[in-house]
């Protein structure tokens, strides 16, 4: 088996009546790519609370990745949105793709209330801006399947020394936004480039930068 450290990069299948999920489209474009001495393994997770967690656990066990980056669609957001925190909560506004609608249940019973991303989010933000891509730090990944997977990734590697994890939400694709008057969007090539920049920065940055990116709301 290859000794090249692996990056587990996940996207989701379409949900909420969409026929495409930009997270999977962007993530799969990077599958197999070698960056900074690491190899990217892309995986599509179902937009299901239980199913996604099962598949994530198996992938982490089999791949022993050094870096985990989850990616999900956040329709309505206008830029790449680097998540700072994931909470131990499932509160679904719409049923998931397996028709589950958990309300106020933990992702992992008995586990901590929240985890901060262990990727260098400020350095990633600065690198995206420097490369001409709009990006922000987000302080909530929501309470649906994306937060669920962001939390699970951080929980699964919390005790694994040197293994880091985080999550990025991305806007609609232009074709999706075209069906929703006034919705912001980002081209697939820009999203994929942004993910690659974020990963390269994570590999090159063991300690995050101190850079203000707070919000008043
Ligand atoms: N976005 C959803 C789940 C899957 C996805 O791509 C979310 O933000 O929770």
Q: Is 146 known to be catalytic?
A: yes
The answer to whether the CB of 28 falls within 8 A of the CB of 41 is: no
Residue 216: predicted pLDDT: 85
Q: What is the mean pLDDT of residues 144-150?
A: 98
Instruction: Output the residue whose Cα is nearest ligand 1's atom 9.
Output: 146
Question: Beta strand pairing status for 103-105 and 6-12?
Answer: unpaired
CATH of domain 6-204: 3.40.630.20
How far does residue 160's CA lie from ligand 1's centre (Å)? Answer: 26
At 3, the pLDDT band (50, 70, 90 cuts) reads confident
144 lines ligand 1 (CB under 6 A): yes
CB atoms closer than 10 angstroms to residue 149:
28
Q: What tokens appear for 117 in the block? A: 């991303």
How far does residue 207's CA lie from ligand 1's centre (Å)? Answer: 28
How far does residue 2's CA lie from ligand 1's centre (Å)? Answer: 32
Residue 207: predicted pLDDT: 87
Active-site choice (38, 148, 155, 169): 169
The answer to whether the CB of 12 falls within 8 A of the CB of 47 is: yes
The DSSP line for 111-163 is S-SEEE--S-HHHHHHHHHHTT--EEEES---SSHHHHHHHHHHHHTTTSTT-
Write down the domain spans for the chain: 6-204
The answer to whether the CB of 191 falls within 8 A of the CB of 78 is: no
- Of 142, 133, 154, the C-alpha closest to 70 is 154
Write the pLDDT tens digit of every residue in 164-200: 999 999 999 999 999 999 999 999 999 999 999 999 9
pTM for the model stands at 0.97
Q: Measured between alpha carbons, how far is residue 80 from residues 3, 64, 210 in Å? A: 31, 27, 20
Share above pLDDT 70 across residues of the chain, in percent, rounded to a whole number: 99
Q: What is the mean pLDDT of residues 125-141?
A: 98
The residues, ordered by sequence, that sit 6+ positions from 42 with a Cβ below 8 Å of its Cβ are 9, 10, 11, 27, 28, 30, 31, 32
Write the pLDDT tens digit of every residue in 26-53: 999 999 999 999 999 999 999 999 999 9
Does residue 117 carry a pLDDT above 60?
yes
Residue 1: predicted pLDDT: 53
């Amino acid at each position: 088996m290859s000794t090249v450290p692996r990056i587990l990069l996940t996207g989701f299948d379409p949900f909420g009546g969409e026929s495409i999920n930009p997270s999977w489209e962007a993530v799969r474009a990077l599958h197999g790519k070698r960056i900074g001495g690491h190899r990217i393994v892309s995986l599509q997770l179902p937009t299901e609370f239980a199913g996604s967690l099962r598949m994530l656990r198996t992938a982490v066990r089999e791949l022993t990745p050094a870096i985990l980056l989850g990616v999900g669609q956040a329709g309505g957001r206008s830029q790449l949105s680097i998540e700072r925190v994931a909470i131990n909560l499932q509160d679904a506004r719409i049923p998931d793709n397996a028709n589950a609608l958990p309300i106020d249940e933990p992702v992992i019973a008995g586990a901590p209330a929240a985890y901060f991303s262990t990727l260098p989010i400020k350095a990633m933000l600065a690198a995206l801006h420097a490369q001409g891509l709009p990006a922000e730090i987000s302080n909530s990944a929501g309470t649906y399947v994306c937060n669920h997977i962001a939390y699970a990734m951080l929980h699964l590697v919390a005790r694994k020394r040197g293994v880091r994890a985080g999550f990025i939400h991305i806007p609609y694709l232009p074709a999706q936004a075209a069906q929703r008057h006034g919705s912001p969007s980002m081209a697939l090539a820009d999203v994929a480039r942004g993910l690659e920049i974020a990963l390269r920065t994570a590999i090159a940055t063991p300690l995050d930068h101190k850079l203000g990116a707070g919000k008043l709301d």
